[in-house]
């Protein structure tokens, strides 16, 4: 397995639409660990670690999100800090 980690900043209408919860479900479905949190500027930060192919799938899914979301941008960066087991919502 090719392990990697990424930090994604998702912008648009992504708070108050169950974005973090549905992201956590997707991440867990693909056996990823990490977190999702609302940031004060209205964006959502997603940190995910695991199989490189699963990270790519999640990053593509972030453009869709739940039905109430209107995503206008997904900025993806490599992440080198440790990522704890499980997927947490903050």
- Active-site residue flag, 25: no
Specify whether 38 is catalytic: yes
- List beta partners, residue 35: 47, 88
**Annotated catalytic residue, options 13, 33, 38, 88:** 38
DSSP helix/strand/coil, 51: strand
CB of 31 closer than 8 Å to CB of 38: no
Give the total residue count for the chain: 90
- Phi and psi at residue 60, in whole multiples of 5°? -70, -40
End-to-end distance of the chain based on CA atoms, in angstroms? 28
Which residue in 20, 25, 33, 57 is the catalytic one?
A: 20
Question: What residues are annotated to the active site?
Answer: 20, 38
């Amino acid at each position: 397995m090719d392990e990697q980690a990424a930090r994604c900043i998702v912008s648009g209408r992504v708070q108050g639409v169950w974005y973090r919860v549905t992201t956590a479900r997707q991440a867990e479905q693909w056996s990823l660990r990490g977190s999702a949190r609302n940031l004060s500027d209205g964006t959502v930060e997603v940190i995910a670690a695991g199989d490189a192919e699963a990270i790519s799938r999640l990053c593509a899914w972030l453009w869709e999100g739940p039905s109430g979301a209107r995503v206008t941008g997904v900025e993806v960066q490599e992440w080198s800090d440790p990522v704890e087991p499980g997927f947490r919502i903050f």
